[in-house]
Structure 1
């Protein structure tokens, strides 16, 4: 993968978090999800007074992409306005494993641009997938 492209995705994820709706946590997160065809979907976290109805940036990006017919992805960037890169929550990790190969790259980014490179499989080892439901 081209570093220039990844830098563009990082910039998009960081720009996206400026549109987060975070009146309760004040913790904006942005995501940039790239399809295998190279189409880009961004997402932000959107909070709700009923906290269980809050949606994370990663899931927002996935749901936007899937709702437009994309189910194959090649990279995800998650940017937070934090000192260090932060990882997706458990719910986001489960959505990621539904649509992504375990080897797909994930870049985590802090507000100052610190990067942590990982994969979907490293974020959710021993994941629950459709393969566990085969034969039922």
Structure 2
């Protein structure tokens, strides 16, 4: 697939997002409470052509649960069919992990229909 640059404002409006200046981050595309920075580690996902800001579409599609495909000379953006991320209020995907005390496998489906709290921590 080639490189797909889209007008930032038009792309954001088309996917129901908005461009914001976020404190400490800079320019970002925000959808609900999720904001995707447009500059990471000094590298920018924006190019300005004839005064119009364009965004490298691949930078945003996965984070916004979108798929970017190419057909002939066209790039097509669609909603992703698979689970890209899970947020508060979403149903968690089924998974199985060992019990911390016994080592026996425990499946999330064992708790279907009951309220469950997932405590998750990451160092990053």
TM-score w.r.t. length of structure 1? 0.27
**Which structure has the higher relative contact order (CA within 8 Å, separation 6+)?**
1
Kindly indicate which of the two structures has a greater share of residues assigned to helix: 1
